[in-house]
Chain A
Amino acid sequence: MRGISPLCVYVLWLREMKKFFRTKSRLFGSLSMPFFFLAFLGLGLRRAAVPNLPSGVSYINFLVPGILGMNMLFVSMMAGLSVLWDREFGFLKEIMVAPVSRLSIVLGRTAGGIATALFQGAMILIVSLVFGFRVGSVAGVALAFGVMILIASTFIGIGLAFASRMRDIQGFSLIWNFVIFPVFFLSGALYPVDNLPRALRTVALADPLTYGVDALRWAFLGTAAFPFGLDLAVLFCVSAAMMILGAVFFETSEGV
């Protein structure tokens, strides 16, 4: 029961990959949102004077790490939603009745979620180059992908915890509106957090994605609001905590 089954993690990851590449509509659907944000915000605010931008950083260069963070948030929460789809289609029972630890199941789903999120992140990065995004160094890109993994684990953990306690897909749209959107808009993905009124800024500081986006900016641009070490420390702790939370919720939930 205890312990991690590598085969289980592998097969859940494999299944996610197969489903991802076989469902073209899902691929285009989830890429469209970041693409529109990039296109309309990036082009629309190209000449606008957004206050408090780091000096010498254009808005598109500021925006792309934010959109990458948004992508990690959205795709990760989809991993939670996929549990609910599995429940809807009965497949969750097939998973839950298997003789593997619930931690293995959570890790397998996380691996699948991270892989799809990183793939989409790479696609967005390529598209953003067309919009004039400038990548500093290869090391910076590698670092950014590391940060993206931490962001993904955080929100996959949260998504799985929610999903283990929910029975239907409609309920998840509430979470989308009342959790995901605030987390996204407060994270400083679209504008510097310093532009927010004081009270909201405090809330933004409690938003894990704030540190994720900041770390991504640091990786790509070499300049950010917080020290990189602080960003990483927060992301490490929160992602570990959320993974444990997801696993505990899964362990104690009933399979049907």
Chain B
Amino acid sequence: MSAIVAENLTRTFDDFTAVDHVSFTVEEGELFGLLGPNGAGKTTTVNLLATLLKPTAGRAMVAGHDVVGERDAVRRAIGIVFQEPALDGKLTGRENLHFHGLMYGFKGADLRRRADEVLDLVGLNDWAEKRAETYSGGMKRRLEIARGLMHRPRVMYLDEPTLGLDTQTRRGIWDYIRELKKTGGTTFILTTHYMEEADILCDRILIMDRGRVAALDTPARLKDVLGGDVVILDVDGRPEALAEAAKKHEWVRAASVGGSALSLTVEKGETRIPELFTIARELGISITSVSLRKPSLEDVFLHFTGTTLRDAEASAGDRLKAAMMSHYGRRR
């Protein structure tokens, strides 16, 4: 049985469509990534799959249960680490875990054992009796991951689990997630707008853009789609002319110009650079610098959405904010 089946999942806020006919299937045990800029609809998708929001149209099954008709069964099957911290700062780490456990129906020795187990797992034993408000950002995240695992969910949502954390802490969280995955059994849905994170952790990635599915595949195959490496040439004058000339060769898959830089998608880039120099010399164009890059998900994103992640972020974030404001503003 698939862990998650979403069929044309749609959610609108007034006239703004946050999630637009999204369909995908996640297999059991998979670490599945939702990648996209802020405002692409990732969190809304997670909230729909977590029963916190109701779909406007379409349907979704989580662990075999319908997210609308069988909300309670879905709730029992899932664990979540929310994008923003959702801890009670006035309670200690252990009390936060006990709160969670009691809400899920555990008590007595079983409750205490589960809390101890997950505290161990995330290495917070020494901090268990301190109030959560005194924790660092990374410790809060770890406590939340521990909490999400306490009832041994079949599906675990990690909504931007490393947002706002420094690089070192982020790598620590990645290690935890990889360790958890090894223990098996749990399916992970990870949302992120960090390419690197998706690339390193995920078995498959769904690229979301403006509420829609832009692409869905393994990181390796998504990168294959680009058909080669990226060669970036900084030139002294007339990059357009060089782009035109280069495009005549069948091994150049794509060429684009930005300022004095020319970006080419080339099969086996390292073997073609000498040829590119020859072409430039024939045109009387001098190349001032060369860089070769194996394709990244950033390039994949650009390929599928026609915009860079950062630009998409700027516009989508504003769009979503405006829509949410007007939606909730009207309710007041």
Contacts and interface: CB of A to CB of B under 8 A. Distances in A.
16 contacts: A1-B71, A7-B102, A8-B103, A11-B102, A11-B103, A22-B90, A23-B90, A89-B86, A91-B87, A91-B88, A93-B52, A94-B87, A97-B50, A97-B51, A98-B100, A99-B105
Interface of A is mostly: loop
B238 interface: no
Interface of A: 1, 5, 7-8, 10-11, 15, 18-19, 22-23, 89-91, 93-101, 165-168, 171, 254-256
Given A19-B90, A167-B331, A99 B72 contact: yes
B76 interface: yes
A15 B84 contact: no
B332 A15 contact: no
B127 to A, nearest CB: 17
Contacts of A18: 90-91, 95
B53 A254 contact: yes
Given A98-B75, A167-B332, A171-B332, A90 B99 contact: no
Contacts of B100: 94, 98
Nearest to B44: A256
Contacts of A7: 102-103, 105, 107
B181 interface: no
A93 B107 CA distance: 22
Nearest to B80: A97
B104 A99 contact: yes
A5 B106 CA distance: 12
A11 B80 CA distance: 20
A104 B162 CA distance: 33
B52 A97 contact: yes
B332 A93 contact: no
Nearest to A11: B102
B86 A93 contact: yes
A90 B102 contact: no
Contacts of B80: 93, 97
Interface string B50-79: 111110000000000000000111011010
A12 B80 CA distance: 20
A96 B52 contact: yes
Nearest to B89: A89
A10 B331 contact: no
Contact of B88 (A8, A19, A171): A19
Interface string B202-221: 00000000000000000000
A99 B76 contact: yes
